[in-house]
Structures are given as structure tokens and as C-alpha cells.
Structure 1
Amino acid sequence: MHLVQTMAYVNATPWHGLGNKLTANQPLEVWAERAGMNWRIEESEVRFVSGSAGLGSIHAFPEQKVLYRSDTKAPLSVVSSRYQVVQPAEILEFYRDLTEVGGFELETAGVLKEGRKLWALARTGQSATLKGRDKVNGYLLLATACDGTLATTAQFTSVRVVCNNTLSIALGDGAGAVKVPHRSQFDAQAVKRQLGIAISSWDGFMARMKALSECRVSDDAVETFFRRVLTYPTANPAERATTAVNDRAVKAVQELYAGSGKGAQLPSSAGTAWGLLNSITEFVDHHRRARSDDHRRDAAWFGQGAVIKQRAWEEALRLAH
């Protein structure tokens, strides 16, 4: 069962061949239709039936509301009456000025989990090439969820072309991402103003990528790096939280690093901290255990996978300093 209900894309076919292919520079209205985002989130007061015999009586629960799709009437979630909805059209509309005058290009957009999660991803036009033609492009991801699992998040992301690995660009105080909780009104222009500080973060990110690609690592450092990154919390009987190493994952990433990973043989990667980082991002994006490819993608962008990648980025930078 694919979590990606509908999706549209331009350029290379994304994840596992899903989605409707578009030619470049389509208007947002075409994107909305082909990405399955041409519906609205409607809301209604929660009502319930009391009494088991016969029809019972209907009562209202005004503190909560039901969100549902305007097209199929399928329920999406039950939320607080103060919850601020972000519509599918708003996700695409966010990119209108960026694509029309800012040099951005929408590359994928779609719906996860029957409409509970919505996203769009655009190339910023920024890119860097490390030694050996190892190219990394800059993207801006905007995603939201209406089931309480995600604030509306605008996030700068990099994609390494050779292996399609993704990495969030967060520098300094987490600049690179702006999160708007659903108790606040989503103001697209205010978010873009906040992101203005992060446009320049690409330059800092590029400098760090280059430093990682020039940082040679010893065999001892490789094992230590993977064991530090691939830990998970455990609770022992005495209720003290400890961590354990995921040995199966360590073995898998060591094989990717040693040469089986895409781009692992490039001069930028072989024997370097950049290679260590990319063995982790490839594992998280493409190989980590998951119920489906789409569950893995969801985790790689928004969940535990994203946490692992961030930890790998921080550990790799520590090696390069």
C-alpha cells in the first residue's frame, strides 16, 4: 500500500516511478490537478449519538471539529476548534512568486496518507559540484499535515544527484527551517521573509560540504562514527534510559561506505567524511527498514530518519574541524 496517494513531478522520475509526469513550467493550476491537490479541507463541528437503543439522541462537542476532504467527504482528523487549517492550494501558492520571478522550479508535489499530509518541493537554482563531478542541488520543501503530526514546515534541503540522497540544511540556530504551528495563521510571505536569512545559508552549507569532501578519515574513525550515529534509546528494568547501537544498520552503512553506495567511489567520497555522511543518508533514504518505501520517505523527511541524518551531519562536521 503506497502512502503517496497522488503526486506530480517534472525532470527525472522520483522515488520508485510514482507520479504523473509534467513538462516544465506548468501553471500551478495544472500542478494542483495532476498532484491530486485540487480539493479543499472542510470542517464541521463534532457530533455524537448517545443511547444504544434505537436512534439515540445527537449531541454537539463544540471544542473539537472534524476535518474532511471537499471532494470525497473522507474524514481526515479531529482537531481542536482553534486549529488553523492550511489548504492544499496554499502549499502550491507559496511557490508562485518564487517560480515566476525568483528562479525556482517546482519539481514534485503531492499528497500522503489520503490527504493528511501535503508537500511540494522546488529547486532553488543553487548547486555545488565537489571534486569528481559530485553535484548537489538546493531545494525548498514546504509540507503540512492536518492530523497533528507536523507543523507547517518550510525547509531548505539538499539533494545529491548521483544517489538522490536528501539532507536538511540547518545551520546555526536551526536557520534553514521555519515551522508554523497550527494554532497560528499560516502567513506565506512572513515565512518567506524568515527564510531570507537562510537563502545565504547555502553558501555556508557548500563550504561545509567541501570541507567534508577534503577530510580524510582513518579506519578506526569510521567504526566510531557509525556507532555514534546509529544508536537508539532503550529503557532498562531500572528505568534508566540508555542507548544501544543498531549493529545491523552499522553493517549496512559500512558496506555502502566501502564501495556499494551510489557515488561511494567518487574522489569526493572515497575515504572521506563526506562519504561517511552519504552512506548514512543513502541508508536512511533508500535502505532503512520500513513498512513501505513511502513510510521510509516520510521518516527520512519528517521523522526518525531525519533525526539520524542530522546526527550524522553534526558528527561529520566534528571530524572535519
Structure 2
Amino acid sequence: MTQTLTSPLPLESRLVERVWGGTRLIPAGGDTSRKIGEAWVVGEDNRVSGGPHTGQTLAELSAQFPEELLGRRATSARFPLLIKLLDCAEWLSVQVHPDDAQARELEGAGFLGKTEAWQVLDADGGAQIIAGIREGTPQDTLRAAILDGKVMEHVAYTPVHARDTFLIPAGTVHALGPGVFLYEVQQTSDLTYRIHDWDRPAAAGRALHLEKSAAVARPWPAPASPPPAAGAAVQQLTRCDYFVLERLGSGGGTLAGDTAGQSFHVLTVTRGEAQVEAGGERHTLGQFESLLLPAAVGAYGLSGDFELLRSSLPE
């Protein structure tokens, strides 16, 4: 029998230890001495955890069923997005990512740049991030500051609160601060150039990439995300050339969606519990659980009292 991709794909998350990580991503009863900074919930290396494709990675399924999984908006057969949850107990390194052309020039063929977006799920009082460079900083000043170890004199600090959204285009200098828990959607790339790592002890410190950072960093603040339409059941939070991020909410009612063969949809519940009916199946998603709907799924329904984030490819 020929296998197809017309049903939802539950995926195994990958927990990643980081020097700046916290404990809220550790499963109940897990080892709380570990510093878990990231949960990679949907990406090309994640494996399907149920159904006929159990054990296969999204990379394998993308190669086998490119149009059924990715949809007509995809520009290649590689799974194009990586979606994570991040728990920040300390400052992340001040860093920057190249764009696609710069990644190929600096790293070689096959490398991709990284544009990303954040939706803040929770934030301690006084939590802040670095989101770009202060306006009016010349390019040559920024380059010199990076090479001389003085970039912190020019970064733009921004206070953050739950439900804030930030788009971080390639070239934007940025860092997440302690007390921030968020959802991140990004290009399929983990290419990071570190500029400053907070003078961590040698055992925890990591290599800096000053020359490459100076080559790709741009002297701009992160673009402001317009507030979503108040009261709308489907709210667009941000979009770019690589992804669309939306927030869907239902106070106990129902919502309808449709992949329409155009793009996969990634659903991640951020509050409550959602029932997903798609491809002849019914799935229950609790808080911070995700489900991938292949582009071939078509129409689907959502019910329950929930909020969720939906990532997909842009038109």
C-alpha cells in the first residue's frame, strides 16, 4: 500500500542543554540539575512519534513527500522551519545571524542564514532583551565596536512582557535575558555568530566570532511588530519571507483551518487544551504541545478553550 501524508504528525521533542538554561522545560520527575535551555519541537531532525511514519524524521519525509508535507509554497524539498521553546535563566550570548547569501559566502554551499521571530510566553518582572542597535549608530562604528569588544555600548535594551512579539531579521544583533520563556520560529539553520558572552568562566564560556559578526551585523533596531487585531479569533503576529506566525484563540468554541495544499501548519498550544480534528483523526493538545499538519491534510477543525500559535509558509 502506498503511504501518504494526509494525517497529522505528532513529533518527539528534543531537549537541549545550554549554559543559560532553566528548569521549566524538564518533564515532571526529571533531573532538575540539568540546564535545559531549548526544546526543539518541530524541525527536520524531529522524529514522528505516532502513526504509520513513526520513527521517521521530517528530513526523511520531506525528501519522500515534498509537496504533500511542505506544500506548493515551499521553495525546496528541505523542511524549512525550526520551532523551539526557550527557557532563559541567564543572558544568552549577544549574537547575530547571517542571511542566506552571507551564509553561503562565509560558510560554503548548503548553509542557510537565519531570520527568526519570538512570541514571549512568560516573563519575570523587569525582564529585558537586546533587540538590535541603537538608532543613529553608523555601520563603521558598529563594525569597529564589535572588533574592539565594545558592542555593549551600542545595543538597544527592550523590556519584555508576555504576549510580546519580535521579528529578528538576519543581521540584527540580539540576546535574550534572564526570566524570559518564549516560542521561537526560525529558518532551518543554527548558524550563530557570537559577539559577547558576558565573560562567563572559561568552563562555560564559548568561542566568539568577531570577524564574521562584524561582516554581517547591521546597525538597526529590531522592527516593531504592529499589535494584532483586538478580539480577532485569528491574529497575525508577524510575517516575513520565510514564515507567518499567528495566534488563534477560542473561548470554548470552534475554529476552522485549511492547509489547502499550500503549506504545512504547525500548531502549538500556549494556553488550555485544544482538540484537533484533521485527516480523519482527533488529537488532543495540552499546553506547550505541538502538532504538525502536512499541507495535504486540507480542512481541519479546532475546538476547546485554548490559545495556540500557528506557523506556516508565506504566500
TM-score (norm 2): 0.25
Query: Which of the pair is proportionally richer in helix?
Result: 1
| Structure of higher CA gyration radius | 1
- Of structures 1 and 2, the one scoring higher in RCO (CA 8 A, sep 6+) is 2
TM-score (norm 1): 0.24
